[in-house]
Each structure stands twice: as structure tokens, then as C-alpha cells.
């Protein structure tokens, strides 16, 4: 293995946001071997971004370094436990600093977190948004699920129900969607579906779209609006940016660990099933949808293709592409004073205000 540069932390992404972990701890805990030397990509930091995002990008280590793929259920469960540890700590820290409260709750037999900001926006009073967390379908559960929920709750002043849906390796497709539908039924028995949002990033973006497809199939009340952040929309085929941006996004690459999480989630089902790859779904009469990606995001093509599919079906769909951002960078506002994160929240607020009222 080539020489690793002397940096304190390596950036590893698992389906949503960036997890900062000690390289030594990560390797020893997961018994992982780095597949190649970590290195800075040779493309300069983009111009025109905030100084905060510029600083984050300048400090990044990207390349081909990824942990080896677990080979048994026991190894997967250990990997999940370890990978969720630091994101959970980040979520708890953010909740305290932002004065956002949360409590565990079982809704329709599904584990959830009810997240409440210090100040409720009157526009969203007496309503909850439903959140489906990211994490490559496998990671990101328990308190780690709270990161985006806290970001949205605080940023918009809205109460959020974050669904800690069942996940592989113990619960593959369609367990996550079944859980989301069950919670949705409970929420919409108490508030108007047309004034309710479903949202999520990465795998959570996929589940936002596929859950809505399931609601449509079952003739259930549809959300008033959706937010699908940098969603994985095609698990059957590799979209262009997975290849063209490889080595630039800290998410790494699709081949290896991430592909294994997709396979673990889908089990032996047809990967072109719209409830697994929503870009192939019947999208007519879909709710208005806002999508976000970035010019360095491995899932840029998945996001763009989903936007075009929605538009082709006559759906009101907005697409925001942020220059220089990698996978889910807009969520870095949870840990940094990031203007781009504030901008994303402003766009979401305007979009929801338009379509929920």
C-alpha cells in the first residue's frame, strides 16, 4: 500500500454526509484494509463557493480508500454499529447546540424519533414532516438517523418524525418501505396529507421516492411535496457520474462496499423494480418534488435522471445543482456555518410554502 498522507482524519462517506473517522480506529475496528493510498484529487478547489466550504474541501482526502466489504451478517452488524457511532455523536451535539429536542417513539409499531425545534414556524404549526434517513440502506439508523432531521427541524422550524426503519442485513427490501408506509398512515390519520412532506437524502432520497410510489399503488393519500436530496434512483445500472466523478467525491466509488449495500438491500429482487429503482416508476400524478445535487456528487446523474423522468411525466419538479459540492454537502451546515446549507434551506422553505399552502 502506498504511503498515506499525514492527516489526522480520513473522510469516509456511507450514503449520506461525511463521517470523520480516525484511520487507525476505522481499520482496527472493522479489520479493514485500505484498497489503495489515500490522496488529494488533482482538481483545484472550485471558485465561487463560500470560504467555509472551500476550507472543508481543501482538507479533504479522497480517492480509492474504502474498508473491505463485510462477508457475514455478524460482520455487517459490527460495521453498522461502528459506522453509526460518530454520526450519532454529531447528531446529539447538534441537538444540544441548536436546542432541538427529540424523543424515541413507536408509531404503528415502527421505531421513530419525534424531533422538535426550539421555535416552530407558524406556517408549519401543528404539522409534522416525515423523514427517511440516508446511509446506503444499511447504515445511519438509531441516533445517527437524527442528523438530517435536526437540520430540517431547526432550519425550517418544523416538527419532524424520523423513521428508524428496519434495515439489512436482517431486514432487506421491502421492510424499509413497509415501515415508512405504516408511519405515513398514522401521520395522515391526524393531519392532512396534502400539507405533509416526506424527505430524505441519498438512500433516504430513494426511499422518499419509492415510498411515494407505494402510496400511489395502494391508493393512499399522497404528500403535498417531496424533498429527495441526491437520491440513489437506479440500483440496476451505473449512471454516468458514478464513473466520471469517481475519485473526486469522498463517497468513493460504487464498486465494492456501496454496491454491496445495494445488493444487500435489494436481496434477490429485480433491480429495475420501481420500488427499488424509482427512475423506472410510473410517475404521473406524483407530488411536487425538489431535488438537490452538486457538480462533484457521484449521484449527480441519478438525481438529474430522476428530475427529467419527473418532468417527462408532467410533475412539478425543481432541481438545484450546487457548484463544487460532493454527495450531500449541503448537510454540512449541521456542523459548520455554511452559507450553501442556508441557501438549500431557503429553497426548501420557498418550495414547501408554495406547494403546501
pLDDT digits (tens, 9 = 90+) for 3-42: 323 222 333 343 443 333 333 333 333 333 333 333 445 7
Number of residues written out for the chain = 357
- pLDDT tens sequence across 238-294: 999 999 999 889 888 899 999 999 999 999 999 999 999 999 999 999 999 999 999
Instruction: Confirm whether 254 is domain-assigned.
Output: yes
Let me know if residue 30 belongs to a domain: no
What confidence score (pLDDT) does residue 68 get? Answer: 79
Q: pLDDT tens-digit profile of 86-139?
A: 999 999 999 999 999 999 999 999 999 999 999 999 999 888 999 999 999 999
| Residue-level pLDDT at 350 | 97
Grid cell digits, residue 256? 465494492
For residue 172, being part of any structural domain is answered with: yes
Domain, as residue range, for 299: 73-356
Q: What CATH code is carried by the domain that includes residue 284? A: 3.40.50.1820
Query: DSSP 3-state assignment of 337?
Result: coil
* Residue 171 is assigned to a structural domain of this protein: yes
Report the distance separating Cα 130 and Cα 134, nearest Å.
13
Does residue 37 lie within any of the structural domains? no
Q: For the chain, what is the domain count? A: 1
Q: Is the residue at 68 inside a domain?
A: no
pLDDT tier, 62 (very low <50, low <70, confident <90, very high otherwise):
low
Nine-digit cell at 12?
469516509
Strand-pairing partners, residue 200, are 228
Among residues 28, 41, 111, the alpha carbon closest in space to that of 251 is found at: 41
Question: What is the three-class DSSP state of 19?
Answer: strand
Asked if residue 35 is part of any domain, the answer here is no
In a domain, 4, yes or no: no
In angstroms, the CA 160 to CA 307 distance is 25
Amino acid at each position: 500500500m502506498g504511503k498515506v498522507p499525514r492527516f489526522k482524519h480520513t473522510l469516509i462517506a456511507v450514503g449520506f454526509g461525511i463521517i470523520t473517522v480516525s484511520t487507525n480506529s476505522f481499520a482496527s475496528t472493522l479489520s479493514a484494509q485500505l484498497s489503495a493510498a489515500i490522496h488529494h484529487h488533482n482538481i483545484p478547489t472550485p471558485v465561487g463557493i463560500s470560504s467555509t466550504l472551500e476550507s472543508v474541501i481543501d482538507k479533504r482526502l479522497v480517492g480509492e480508500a474504502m474498508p473491505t466489504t463485510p462477508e457475514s451478517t455478524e460482520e455487517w452488524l459490527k460495521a453498522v454499529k461502528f459506522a453509526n457511532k460518530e454520526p450519532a455523536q454529531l447528531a446529539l451535539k447538534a441537538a444540544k447546540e441548536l436546542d432541538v429536542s427529540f424523543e424515541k417513539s413507536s408509531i404503528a409499531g415502527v421505531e421513530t424519533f419525534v424531533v422538535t425545534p426550539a421555535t416552530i414556524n407558524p406556517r408549519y404549526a401543528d404539522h409534522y414532516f416525515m423523514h427517511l434517513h440516508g446511509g446506503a440502506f444499511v447504515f445511519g439508523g438509531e441516533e445517527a438517523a437524527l442528523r438530517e432531521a435536526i437540520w430540517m427541524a431547526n432550519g425550517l422550524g418544523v416538527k419532524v418524525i424520523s423513521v428508524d426503519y428496519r434495515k439489512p442485513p436482517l431486514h432487506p427490501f421491502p421492510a424499509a418501505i413497509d415501515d415508512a408506509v405504516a408511519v405515513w398512515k398514522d401521520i395522515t390519520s391526524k393531519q392532512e396529507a396534502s400539507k405533509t412532506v416526506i424527505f430524505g437524502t441519498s438512500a433516504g432520497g430513494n426511499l422518499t421516492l419509492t415510498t411515494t410510489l407505494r402510496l400511489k399503488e395502494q391508493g393512499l393519500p399522497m404528500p403535498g411535496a417531496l424533498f429527495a436530496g441526491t437520491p440513489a434512483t437506479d440500483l440496476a445500472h451505473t449512471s454516468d457520474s458514478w464513473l466520471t466523478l469517481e475519485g473526486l467525491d469522498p463517497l468513493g466509488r460504487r464498486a465494492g462496499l456501496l454496491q454491496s449495500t445495494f445488493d444487500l438491500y435489494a436481496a434477490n429482487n429485480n433491480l429495475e423494480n420501481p420500488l427499488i429503482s424509482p427512475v423506472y416508476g410510473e410517475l404521473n400524478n406524483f407530488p411536487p418534488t425538489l431535488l438537490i445535487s452538486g457538480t462533484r456528487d457521484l449521484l449527480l446523474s441519478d438525481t438529474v435522471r430522476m428530475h427529467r423522468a419527473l418532468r417527462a411525466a408532467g410533475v412539478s419538479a425543481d432541481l438545484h445543482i450546487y457548484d463544487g459540492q460532493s454527495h450531500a454537502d449541503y448537510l454540512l451546515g449541521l456542523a459548520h456555518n455554511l452559507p450553501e446549507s442556508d441557501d438549500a434551506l431557503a429553497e426548501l422553505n420557498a418550495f414547501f410554502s408554495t406547494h403546501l399552502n
